[in-house]
């Protein structure tokens, strides 16, 4: 609460008193007694304001301290589940680091409200708590976290559920903010238009691929997908492959695995995200076909077909990443 708001709060009650008295002629008239009473009134109100501001400041400090304590309790549960040799909890998570994490959570909520007009209401928070309770894949650890917070639903909602909700909403708004990512989308569209123009002028598929790679060497990957179902003996992709695709996108490829020499890998079209399958199935029919610019949470994709048969589809993919969420967040003021 600012001093002005505190003053308004004081004046909104029964403490408002007249500072001056006016004569019937319209000129200020003040006796020694009225001056004394006036001075007393001013002094009383200023003292009250100072007291009120002090109380507000103390309350904020207590709230922050409580959040830090609850965050530490949550982190200690994670720490206790770590195996192997480890430093002490205090060394692993120093006080300064802990406070910075809480400050970052508060900043994200402020950015979400200021930039996108979203306030975390009790209804939203209740829904998030319910989502966590019903979808958790680690119910035992969740129970430990709740116990660490004294099995207090309010503490759990504020210290655990709220930061998760804020992060998800803010990240989603960032990823879908057309204004923030307009430059990369425009760049992608320009590249597509130049490819379409070259194709209209008779460029072959190899020539289109060469044009695509010429200015975007590090952003282009080539993949051959099997259009047939994955054979039963390799019915599921390896855990490493799933993790890589989840972290880096559907076209990410494992160059060498951590569990021995790399073996020949085949990629299956049916394992792409369903929405992406639908787009590519329609747009990539013949060598030289150029897809539309496809927006993903992390960037913009553009495909050019190099070869197509009844059983395989080979294409080059241009991937232009969106602006970094972390860098953008660093630039925002709470």
SS (H, E, C) 174-197: HHCCCCCCHHHHHHHHHHHHHHHH
Establish how many alpha carbons lie within 13 A of residue 45's alpha carbon, considering only the half-sphere containing its beta carbon. Answer: 21
CA angle, residues 107, 113, 115, in degrees to nearest 5? 95
Provide φ and ψ at 318, rounded to 5°.
Answer: -90, 125
DSSP string, 312-324: EEEEEEEEEEPPP
Q: State the average pLDDT over residues 242-247.
A: 57
Each as own residue / partner, the long-range contacts of residues 251-257 (CB below 8 Å, 24 or more positions apart, any chain) are 251/221, 251/223, 251/301, 251/317, 251/319, 253/221, 253/223
| CB contact at 8 A, 172 and 166 | no
CB-count exposure of residue 173 (10 Å: 0-12, 13-18, 19+): middle
Answer yes or no: is pLDDT of 3 > 50: no
Q: State the average pLDDT over residues 109-118.
A: 98
- Tell me the chain's radius of gyration from C-alpha atoms: 31
Question: Alpha-carbon torsion 102, 104, 107, 108, what sign?
Answer: negative
**pLDDT at residue 20, rounded to an integer:** 32
The residue behind tokens 């209804």 is: 123
- In this prediction the pTM is 0.68
**pLDDT at residue 4, rounded to an integer:** 39
Using pLDDT thresholds of 50, 70 and 90, give the confidence band for residue 42: very low
Q: Express each pLDDT in 228-240 by its tens digit.
A: 999 886 655 555 5
Answer yes or no: is pLDDT of 113 > 90: yes
Establish how many alpha carbons lie within 13 A of residue 97's alpha carbon, considering only the half-sphere containing its beta carbon. Answer: 8
């Amino acid at each position: 609460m600012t001093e002005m708001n505190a003053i308004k709060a004081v004046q909104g009650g029964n403490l408002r008193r007249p500072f001056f008295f006016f004569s019937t002629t319209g000129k200020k008239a003040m006796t020694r007694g009225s001056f004394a009473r006036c001075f007393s009134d001013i002094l009383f109100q200023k003292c009250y304001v100072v007291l009120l501001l002090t109380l507000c400041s103390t309350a904020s400090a207590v709230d922050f301290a409580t959040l830090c304590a609850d965050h530490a309790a949550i982190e200690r549960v994670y720490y206790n589940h770590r195996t192997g040799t480890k430093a002490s909890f205090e060394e692993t998570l120093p006080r300064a680091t802990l406070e910075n994490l809480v400050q970052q959570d508060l900043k994200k909520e402020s950015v979400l409200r200021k930039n996108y007009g979203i306030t975390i209401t009790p209804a939203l928070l209740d829904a998030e708590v319910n989502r966590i309770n019903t979808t958790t894949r680690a119910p035992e650890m969740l129970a430990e976290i709740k116990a660490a917070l004294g099995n207090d639903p309010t503490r759990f909602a504020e210290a655990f559920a709220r930061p998760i909700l804020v992060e998800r909403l803010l990240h989603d708004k960032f990823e879908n903010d057309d204004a923030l990512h307009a430059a990369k989308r425009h760049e992608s569209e320009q590249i597509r238009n130049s490819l379409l123009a070259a194709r209209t002028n008779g460029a072959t598929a190899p020539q289109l691929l060469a044009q695509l790679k010429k200015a975007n060497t590090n952003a282009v990957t080539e993949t051959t997908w099997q259009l047939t179902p994955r054979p039963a003996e390799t019915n599921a992709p390896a855990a490493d492959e799933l993790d890589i695709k989840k972290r880096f996108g559907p076209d990410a490829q494992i160059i060498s695995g951590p569990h021995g020499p790399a073996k020949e890998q085949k990629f299956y079209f049916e394992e792409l995200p369903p929405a992406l399958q639908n787009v590519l199935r329609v747009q990539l029919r013949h060598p030289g076909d150029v897809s539309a610019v496809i927006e993903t949470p992390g960037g913009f994709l553009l495909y050019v077909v190099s070869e197509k048969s009844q059983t395989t589809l080979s294409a080059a993919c241009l991937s232009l990443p969106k602006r970094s969420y972390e860098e953008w967040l660093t630039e925002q003021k709470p």
